């Protein structure tokens, strides 16, 4: 048996993991989508435990993130560092032994389809469409999907085990607080850490082969009101579910969505094909537009709206909530 590194000695002494379980962790890889509050917290715990991760996030660090997104510092916000980059640097400083692959990307089926083997998928996102995409991706690959959500002081956790329980698509109409976001209802950091810890421990159980210890119920907790529920949802399987019953996976379709309103922020994301950032920067400067360059994106103002362009052709248009208006502004800047 492989010798256990000293950094994991206390974890390996825990009877639920042991030396054998610790060796199992070293051989596994987890896909974690979203590096906001939940993603920052659960990635920190898993990297310290010795788990290798594929990390994906489409956004950058802002000052409003720092109250709850524990991987980031003020300098990251001032530099508008992409969360995937800031998270990678912080996590590598915590544990340089684990394998970390980070991507500045908006996850789609086109992005997921060529992904190499992963052992499970963790949800740390903030929108229904992406969650259902990850649900279907995990079901199609026959691996667990750990759903998690928090808003206010309220959190939820649920593990989708293919073939053993209802999937997230089955449960969507039964979940409380639909439509509420951190932007509309706020959030306190302790519920984030609590929900992330539940995600992390279920991940450790699965990766070390302790499947019988996994929580199969839907957990709902309100830390402010000191209320919690464990709901047996087995009876909520939808026999007509296209994901877990008919195996059609409706979310696994090529990405055709060119515009999207980001969760509760008055920010619209617009996709456009580009051939690099520098030609766009030069084009804007020729039109007397002041452009800020970073290694990862361009930033400028157009009609008093802040705009950021990433290397993959995504433009974030701030201060608008109409996708048609945002798309028209991007066309004005980049050319239709």
Distance of CA 11 to the CA centre of its chain: 26
Alpha carbon distance 295, 277 (integer Å): 10
For residue 309, give Cα distances in angstroms to 152, 185, 294, 305: 31, 29, 10, 13
CA contacts within 13 A on the Cβ side of 67: 9
Structure tokens at 241: 């579910």
Q: Which residue out of 150, 182, 244, 333 is catalytically annotated?
A: 182
182 is catalytic: yes
Alpha carbon distance 109, 99 (integer Å): 24
Please tell me whether residue 316 adopts helix, strand or coil conformation: strand
If phi over 0 gives left and psi between -120 and 50 gives alpha, with beta otherwise, what is residue 73?
Answer: beta
Alpha carbon distance 336, 333 (integer Å): 9
For residue 135, give Cα distances in angstroms to 122, 209, 303, 324: 10, 21, 39, 29
Alpha carbon distance 80, 63 (integer Å): 9
Residue 261's closest CA among 331, 178, 322?
A: 322
If phi over 0 gives left and psi between -120 and 50 gives alpha, with beta otherwise, what is residue 101?
Answer: beta
- In degrees, rounded to 5, the angle at the alpha carbon of residue 41 between the alpha carbons of residues 58 and 307 is 25
- Between strands 227-231 and 218-222, the pairing is antiparallel
The catalytic site residues sit at 182
């Amino acid at each position: 048996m492989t010798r256990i590194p000293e950094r994991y000695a206390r974890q390996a002494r825990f009877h639920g993991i042991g030396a054998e379980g610790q060796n199992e962790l070293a051989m596994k890889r987890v896909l974690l989508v979203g590096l906001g509050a939940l993603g920052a917290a659960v990635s920190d715990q898993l990297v310290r435990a010795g788990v290798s991760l594929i990390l994906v996030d489409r956004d950058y660090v802002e000052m409003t993130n720092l109250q709850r997104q524990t991987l980031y510092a003020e300098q990251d916000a001032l530099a508008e560092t992409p969360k995937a980059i800031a998270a990678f640097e912080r996590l590598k400083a915590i544990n340089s032994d684990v394998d970390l692959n980070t991507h500045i990307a908006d996850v789609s089926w086109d992005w997921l389809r060529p992904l190499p083997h992963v052992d499970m998928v963790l949800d740390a996102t903030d929108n229904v469409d992406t969650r259902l995409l990850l649900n279907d991706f995990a079901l199609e690959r026959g691996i667990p999907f750990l759903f998690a959500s928090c808003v206010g002081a309220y959190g939820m956790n649920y593990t989708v085990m293919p073939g053993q329980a209802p999937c997230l698509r089955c449960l969507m109409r039964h979940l409380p607080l639909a439509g509420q976001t951190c932007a509309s209802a706020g959030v306190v950091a302790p519920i984030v850490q609590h929900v992330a810890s539940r995600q992390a421990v279920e991940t450790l159980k699965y990766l070390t082969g302790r499947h019988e210890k996994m929580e199969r119920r839907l957990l709902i907790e309100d830390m402010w009101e000191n209320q919690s529920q464990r709901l047996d949802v087995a009876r909520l399987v939808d026999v007509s579910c296209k994901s877990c019953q008919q195996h059609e996976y409706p979310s696994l379709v090529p990405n055709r969505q060119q515009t999207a309103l980001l969760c509760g922020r008055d920010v619209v994301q617009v996709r456009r094909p580009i051939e690099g950032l520098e030609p766009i920067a030069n084009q804007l400067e020729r039109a007397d537009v002041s452009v800020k360059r970073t290694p990862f994106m361009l930033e400028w103002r157009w009609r008093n709206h802040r705009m950021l362009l990433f290397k993959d052709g995504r433009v974030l248009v701030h201060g608008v909530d109409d996708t048609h208006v945002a798309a028209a502004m991007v066309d004005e800047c980049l050319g239709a």
